[in-house]
Amino acid sequence: MVRRKGGVRLKQQLKLFLAVLITAVAASALTLYLVGKGSGGSVYSASDSEKFEKLMAAYDKIKSDYYQNADDEKLTDGAIKGMLGALDDPYSTYMDKKEAKSFEESITSSFEGIGAQVEEKNGQILIVAPIKGSPAEKAGLKPHDEIQKVDGKSVKGKTVNEATAMIRGKKGTNVKLVLNREGVGQIDVTIKRDTIPIETVYSKMIDGNIGEIQITSFSENTAKELTKAIDDLSEKGAERFVLDLRGNPGGLMDQAIMMSNMFVDKGKTIMQVESKNGKKEVYKAEKERKVNKPTVVLVNGGTASAAEIMAAALHQSSGIPIVGENTFGKGTVQNAESFSDGSTVKLTIAKWLTPNGDWIHEKGIKPQYKAELPSYAKLPYLDSKKEYKAGSTGDEVKAAQQMLQALGYKLNATGAFDAQTEAAVKAFQKDQKLKTTGILTGETTISLTSKLQDKLSDNDTQLDKAIEILKKEK
């Protein structure tokens, strides 16, 4: 082992390295995402150089002795990734130019992919929520599904951005995922990528005079979309509102504040942000309240981040009830700052707290009225390209049997494709005017999945509970 003293050369390299690492910041963007709240400059000074001698000694060693030429950019990127990885925080990440572009697209425009928000937690890549109407939603992806492989390649040890880059691709191309779902096991799914538009608010009149508003994420124009939805529904005679935040993975914090203000009286607290020194910044409703009609909020395990800010604000500052399941539990704020080369560091800079000062991180928000979907809502996607027939066995066969059961066909869900299952498939094919083969594949699989989704839509027990509670509100 050879030891070398850095001396003047080390200090010069250190200054150059830190200039790349710290002072090349050119612009900032958001991720639960806080607008315009950077640290205000570098905290590094020349007197701190000794702290980095080990780092620079390693750099010096690689540049001088490694048997191949080492790329400076890759070494710098690796050092940044290493520092962020040492924080053991899945929300603090480094994105190269390509990953940063993909991230920016996800909150500002349309992009091509499968349409699912993912996160890294305890070394696993998990689905937070699929986007409404996306290929991921149509394929049956659920919150908390673990992605194990993408096109046959393991995502073990990958960052969220690296995994996302593997999943995204050109419209019309396929990506094969291997998932693990709690209580179900391994699921293989092939999804065709498509253009994912960032349209984030969907509204309609239901049950007479109730306006249902589904918010799928918090992007640049979501507050404007919500304003329009409220106005349109009010013109149609809406006297009450259901705000559906199920499967909403979050997004821009400023949008969550503006949207919450529509349901919170001026001067009341919407949220608090607590920095590492314990100082709290309180965000209050700055405008007059827009909606004074009875409202309920609908949530589930895919309701995260900015969506949780809104749910908590409406409940704690306006007394609006929350219906559904425990939310995801993301209580931190990230700031994304871009380097001059287009790469970006996304760093957790604070906690966010509810109006009452609660930190919901990794705990979520418990609804006042619990409501679950039918058990068949958690059944996995079946690959229409696969063939399930007499003699087939496994979890996917069991899922198909449970789907048929949910649609009213009589059979036992054993996981073995027996004569009883074949008879049920034939009966389903006959009812749907399909070729009667007794084999589950292609059109039959697609039709089975579609019919189950229709049944779930007609039997949305969570929405039914929300309407029940809403009708009691004054």
Quick check: 334 and 293 in contact, CB under 8 A? no
What is the number of residues in the chain? 474
- Judge whether 204 counts as a catalytic residue: no
Active site residue 363: no
Annotated active-site residue in 305, 317, 402, 429 = 305
CB atoms under 10 Å from CB of 291, counted, come to 19
Contacting residues for 418 by C-beta, under 8 A, at least 6 apart: 390
Q: Looking at 92, 334, 392, 402, which residue is catalytic?
A: 334
The label of the residue with tokens 């704690």 reads 316
Q: What tokens appear for 76 in the block? A: 């710098």
User: Are the C-beta atoms of residues 96 and 338 closer than 8 Å to each other?
Assistant: no
d(CA 439, CA 357): 56
Question: Catalytic annotation on 134?
Answer: no
Task: Fill in the amino acid letter for 387.
Answer: E
Instruction: Give the residues across from 187 on adjacent strands.
Output: 179
Which of these is catalytic: 81, 142, 330, 465?
Answer: 330
Active site residues: 305, 330, 334
